[in-house]
Amino acid sequence: MLDIHGVFLYTDYIMQLRIKQIELKLRKANELIIQLKVKYLNQPAVYSDINRIDEKLIEIDKLIDNNK
């Protein structure tokens, strides 16, 4: 990406890379959350804790989507 003077904007590029890395980490975390929910489905206390973590991850994902 270039600015009006034809200079490459590293900050935008780096920010896009960081956002992509965070999205990949969130996707992996969501996979693990699903596995944990299935594993602890019969234990309401543990399941509710996992669900709270999942809600926080969803909030982070929404923040990233709003920054695009």
Q: Looking at residue 46, what is its pLDDT?
A: 94
Q: Looking at residue 1, what is its pLDDT?
A: 54
Q: Looking at residue 66, what is its pLDDT?
A: 79
Any alpha helices (H) in 1-68, and if so which ranges?
10-39, 44-67
Q: Looking at residue 15, what is its pLDDT?
A: 80
pLDDT profile of the chain (68 residues), mean per 10: 57 81 94 95 94 94 80
pTM of the model: 0.71
